[in-house]
Structure 1
Amino acid sequence: MTTEIKTLSTEEIYRNKWMALREDRILRADGSQGIYSVIEKPDFVVILPIEDDALFVVEQFRYPLGERTIELPQGSWEHSLTATPEQVAAGELREETGLVAGKMIRVGYQKLAQGYSQQGYHIYLATELTHHAPSLDPEEYGLTARKIKTDDFMQLILDGNVTDATSVTAFLLAKARGLIA
């Protein structure tokens, strides 16, 4: 296999505790040079908490959009490099919704935006749920959780009211695998 693009140099432009931005000088196979910007972020998890014919969703204000959005619970643990994706999923589920899953089923793994990042996400179906109080991080101020019928969630997707690509992909993949009705 030949390399279509060769990296000539790399420069980190910006870094904070959640992400880094680097700029690579590149050489394409046709001899032309260019710049490629890459966002580096850790993988994250998205969880489909299912109870009967409903799932739990979260609603929160998303600053870049300037509005509240409906999504599946999701997140990452920037502070832990040793936690497994399943442990992160269980922790994020408890943190955002107060739910504890008696059973976690791996649904799959997807890439978020492979045109500018290697970041991906692990998808889990959470069942046998018990209810506790949520424990939100400061960045999650105002986040609320609620239960919604799976058919209603599908309709929200079709109506363009759930626009988070991660939530849509996770839901449709679990549905395609027959894990939710």
Structure 2
Amino acid sequence: MSELASEPSNTASDQRHVFEVVDSKDIYQGRVIALRADSVVMPGGGTATREVVEHLGAVAVLALDDDGQVTLIHQYRHPLGRRIWELPAGLLDVVDEEPVVAAQRELAEETGLAAESWVTLVDVAASPGFTDEVVRVFLARGVSDVGREVPDGDEETDLVSKKFPLSEAVRMALAGEIVNGASVSGILAAHAVLSGAAEPRPAETPWIDRPTRFAAR
């Protein structure tokens, strides 16, 4: 029987370059985002500017009822200039609120639904090349209707919710009819979980990449 190879004293990750930030400048701060420019040390020894959009972070919910239907919302998204189908979602804009509690609140506010069981499906970095925004998507089951209070005067006044079979939501995602990144990821992850191909994580799973810098401002 051959002996197992011993663990090397220095792994490849130990020898990789450290991208140290030597300077940081605030450019803009708004209600839900900020923009800063970092000077970062590159492997060759020089520095490069990296612009970073800071974000509060968000949660999204795939609420699945006993008939295997998922609730989607049709909402106007100004950067795209149109209404799109997506999962109920919202910002982590309440101080010290746990992500699963924020998800429960957003589900009720946007759809009038509550759920008995909650697990974590996926964490989605929206576009890590320029923003620290990460969305945690939950799978909620044991769904019931608790009624929705329609807000007055903002985009959500126009929001419409509708149930679709999960299989239809998967088709819509793959056909480009659902383009919201967290929604596409959550729908496909839910399909994988329900087919037995993957296991979800507990709702309270530690969230390593949850954005914190903007909330600390």
TM-score (norm 1): 0.90
Counterpart of 1:165, as a letter, is G
Residue pair 2:72, 2:162 contacting (<8 A) in 1 also: yes
Shift of 1:140: 2.2
Other-structure match for 2:158: 142
The answer as to 2:101 corresponding to 1:83 is no
Q: Distance in 1 between matches of 2:164 and 2:35?
A: 37
Residues of 2 paired with 1:86 and 1:124: CA distance? 8
Unaligned segments of structure 2, at least 5 residues? 1-13, 197-217
The alpha carbon displacement at 1:85 in A equals: 0.8
Higher strand share: 1
Which runs of 5 or more structure 1 residues have no equivalent in the other structure? Answer: none
Structure 2: distance between partners of 1:157 and 1:108: 16
SS at match of 2:194: coil
Percent sequence identity over matched residues?
26
1:74 aligns with 2:85: no
Cα-Cα RMSD:
2.0
Bigger radius of gyration:
2
2:79 to 64, 68, 86: 64
Q: Distance in 2 between matches of 1:145 and 1:173?
A: 21
Letter in 2 for 1:174: A
Q: Which residue of 2 aligns with 1:23?
A: 37
Instruction: Tell me if structure 1 keeps the 8 A contact 2:112–2:148.
Output: yes
Deviations 1:96-123 (A, max 9, x none): 0010112222223232222122222222
After superposition, the Cα gap between the structure-2 partners of 1:19 and 1:62, relative to the gap in structure 1 and judged at 3 Å, is same
How far did 1:139 drift?
A: 4.0
Of stretches 80-89 and 24-33 in structure 1, the one that deviates more from structure 2 is 24-33
- Could you tell me which residue of structure 2 aligns to residue 177 of structure 1? 193
The change in CA–CA distance for 1:15 and 1:167 in structure 2 (over 3 A counts) is: same
Corresponding residue for 2:3?
none
Residue 8 of structure 1, CA deviation: 2.0
Q: What amino acid does structure 2 have at the position aligned with 1:142?
A: D
Q: Does 1:112 align with 2:126?
A: yes
- Give the count of matched residue pairs: 180
Q: Partner amino acid for 2:96?
A: T
Q: Distance in 1 between matches of 2:149 and 2:195?
A: 28
* TM-score under structure 2 length normalisation: 0.76
